[in-house]
Structure 1
């Protein structure tokens, strides 16, 4: 599997209208309780693993997997034994 570099990912996200692109890293075995964000998010997992639960459906995500979450969508996150890192584009809805 070949992942893009961060600059390539950022440029692609900007072209799609995402005005902020950041790298997020999470500690091993971290659980993030149900929450939501005021922005749309589109992300690419680049290291580790995570479980993302939306509407009662849990996805197991590994490097190369993508996920998108619309602003205001309640979700939970759980990170694996090695934690996880993903790059995410964020945009205000509308």
Structure 2
């Protein structure tokens, strides 16, 4: 099941060290990119195909992946996919 609309409607929950988003992605792919934060992603439905460090791997419901800050990566979705994303910032 996709994340409930009410949960998605909350948008991004911000704190000093970690933001949390609940996302739903339709089939497609993102271009290669980086983030200033470290991402920890929990897939709740579908499959996130993560490409990082020259390899692609599936991340399925109940599985986590980590994208370290500054790491080039891309993701693609062959089916509708939902996930909870934790955006961790360095202390500073």
Structure 1: 5+ residue stretches without partners:
1-5, 7-13
For 1:44-65, what per-residue CA distance to the aligned partner results, in whole angstroms no more than 9, with x for missing partners? 0001112100011111111011
Structure richer in strand, relative to its length: 1
Structure 2: runs of 5+ lacking an equivalent: 1-6, 8-14
Aligned counterpart, 2:18: 19
SS in 2 for 1:93: coil
TM-score (norm 2): 0.75
Q: The residue matched to 1:36 in structure 2 has which SS?
A: coil
Structure with the bigger percentage of helix: 1
How far apart, in 1, do the equivalents of 2:42 and 2:33 lie? 20
SS at match of 1:87: strand
Change (3 A) 1:36 1:85: same
Normalization by structure 1: what TM-score?
0.74
Aligned residues: 78
Map 1:1-94 → 2, pairs under 5 A? 19-27=18-26, 29-81=27-79, 83-94=80-91
Over 2 Å off, 4+ runs: none
**What SS does the aligned partner of 1:58 have?**
strand
**Partners of 1:20 and 1:57 in 2: how far apart?**
27
Task: Provide the alpha-carbon RMSD of the alignment.
Answer: 1.9
